[in-house]
Amino acid sequence: MFKTIPCYSVTTVLASSVALGIEESIDPVEQFKASTLQKVDGLRCAVHGKPPIVDFHGLTLRDVRISMRCCCRELSARANQAIAKPLSRI
């Protein structure tokens, strides 16, 4: 017997696409990854100068897990705070 697995698609209007009137369909997991990475983009340790390394595991929003490696506790705390905040809109 076969099990039906639902497939999810999220339609998002990207800021750059609004001007062009183009609508793009983005995988929700990829959208989650991109927004999470955007939150820590440019973040570096004040002491060591290193960025956090963020890895994603899982194929669905329900299963996705984030693992993050940082050079010190200070950077880890800053990166966690950045990820916890909502992404600011343009």
Q: What pLDDT, on the 0 to 100 scale, is given for residue 25?
A: 66
For residue 12, the model assigns a pLDDT of: 30
* Contact indicator for 54, 66 with CB cutoff of 8 Å: yes
**Is 33 buried (19+), middle (13-18) or exposed (0-12) by CB count in 10 A?**
middle
Give pLDDT < 50 ranges for the chain.
1-23, 90
Give the span between the Cα atoms of 51 and 41, in whole angstroms. 8
Which pLDDT score, from 0 to 100, does residue 87 have? 80
Q: What is the pLDDT of residue 26?
A: 79
How many angstroms separate the CA atoms of 66 and 43, rounded?
17
Q: What is the pLDDT of residue 77?
A: 96
pTM: 0.65
pLDDT score of 9: 32
3-class SS at 39?
helix
In the DSSP assignment, the letter for residue 87 is: P
